[in-house]
Structure 1
């Protein structure tokens, strides 16, 4: 049995780990330095006093930022896993599973994704198309099912709450600073919290201590928001249609990074997220609901003190079907 759900005694992420992960990504040929759109406040229909930048991770390989963490994590798996002697598993309702399946296929390995039974059938079929197995289970049974698999067979869990994954995610922060060296505010969607924590760590550890970093969650799935209030990771039963931002729990490592490097977490409604998807689509950007939450927070005025400031919004993913967009946009 290999893998564990959290690194309870691990150190916080370092700038050396993030920079090392960035080099891994640059040489892998599997990740790209995604574009930043500059000064797009008027284009996006926002107050002209905001200097708005959009970091387009919806244009990343596999359609979201998730591939970053997995490319880096795959460089740290065991020799037996590299040789295909260990079965790789993961847990996801969509984007992480797609990136995982892509990586497993690229490496010629074997893998299975555990998905909540509330995930769309199209996501499950897409993941299967990469040649990996999919097991659909009720949301409350996801973690127990993964743990049982880890106990019963020669498996390794590639999971979200992992320092190597977060170091890869932190490359987003380094790229932001290359394109916008002096941002005042950076806004990031928060599901499990690994992108938010990794990006914030990269920015703050690069010497931008005055840059404010905000996370954004749905009102119906405020796991990081409630964890910060409780000063410990908590479980929240999600009541949101934005499943990509509704993990069953907040990871320990993600929580630690968020407490250390993130200034605050704000909440947006599902309706505000849908309005953001529509606004971005009307401007020519295909963004899934989970990828639009950070923009929704800026659009709805949830981020404080942005007048006259350079505000970078991370658009985290664009994995949405035409049928789903038609339903969202009417």
Structure 2
């Protein structure tokens, strides 16, 4: 079987970037700030920048991939997807804008507030056990004639997410290290492909997963996409399996997958909040990896951390340490 990552070109990713930038969904070029210009207290022997996707339209990077997916399907339709929240929110936002019908299949472990928010855009939500997500999606495709838009294993989506990598290179043309959260792998794959295909062959790109939801880590070990019974406070990083397309791209372009604990994620959320940055657990994974010395050989290097989302309610923040 041919490696699907071989079909990804820089020209393709730049075309998607232009689509994302001109999207009527209002995707923004989010700020990237040096760590030493924040109130975060870290004495680190490296030059760290933080890319603030928590300030993105709909509160996370997901709108990038959604913008490209919907632009590639201009005739609309009746779409179904699966999401723990952030993709579902962007999907619902786009569905309302384009006047298309939509349904989000959510894991029961996702915060109830996320499903309420998605429904407010006029999109149906069905909550099911994590292990039953694809079964319900397949039923909707089969019985209700819906079109499945995948929340991470889709090339249009990955190309849209690659816009984030290209934006990083506008500010830091040759980063030494880039650290990205990883759930199904769509963001990690897109960012890694964009950076490597832009000529930054020496850049080391690390994915970060929770210990209890480490499907890409296990996939790297077994050299094929695998699934597991995932469980983490970072519900957005806990799909039941790694995507086949993201896996192929990550195998080519990602240095390694590192793991963080839920406790480390909680501390990262609290640390960022005290610095004035509202970041959800999934969005704080890259920062947690940095703060807990999971990224090797960064002394004297230029490091970029992606803070990927800020969709967290006051009720959820109460569960984190002061």
Residues 251-270 of structure 1: CA distance to partner in whole angstroms, max 9, x if unpaired? 10010011011011100001
Aligned residues: 319
The one of 190, 194, 202 aligned to 1:198:
190
Distance in 2 (CA, whole Å) between partners of 1:68 and 1:91 is 17
Tell me the distance in 2 between the aligned counterparts of 1:296 and 1:51: 17
SS of aligned partner of 2:36: coil
CA distance in 2, matches of 1:181, 1:78: 34
Task: Supply the distance in 1 between the matched residues of 2:95 and 2:242 (Cα, whole angstroms).
Answer: 25
Cα deviation, residue 183, structure 1: 0.9
Q: CA deviation at 1:12?
A: 3.8
- In structure 2, the partner of 1:3 is none
Gaps of 5+ in 2: none
- Give the unaligned 5+ runs of structure 1: 1-6
2:119 corresponds to: 128
Verify the 8 A CA contact 1:12 1:256 in the aligned structure 2.
no
1:37 aligned onto 2:37: no
Determine helix, strand or coil for the equivalent of 1:187: strand
Q: Distance in 2 between matches of 1:280 and 1:312?
A: 16
Match of 1:53 among 49, 53, 72: 49
Q: Over residues 192-220 of structure 1, what are the superposed CA-to-partner deviations in whole Å (9 max), with x where a residue is unaligned?
A: 10100100000000000001100000011
Deviation track 1:120-162 (CA, whole Å, cap 9, x = no partner) reads: 1111000000011011111111101101111112211111210
CA distance in 2, matches of 1:33, 1:181: 16
Quote how far apart the aligned CAs of 1:119 are.
1.4
Match among 291, 316, 319 for residue 308 of structure 2: 316
Q: 1:20 aligns with which of 1, 10, 15?
A: 15
3-state DSSP class of the match of 1:308? coil
Alpha-carbon distance in structure 1 between the residues aligned to 2:74 and 2:146: 11
TM-aligned CA deviation for residue 43 of structure 1: 3.3
Separation in 2 of the partners of 1:146 and 1:234?
19
* TM-score (normalised: structure 1): 0.93
Taking the TM superposition and a 5 Å limit, the aligned residue runs for 1:152-171 are 152-159=143-150, 160-171=152-163
How many Å separate the matches in 2 of 1:295 and 1:169? 19
Q: 1:211 to 1:321 in 2, by over 3 A?
A: same
Q: TM-score, normalised by structure 2?
A: 0.96
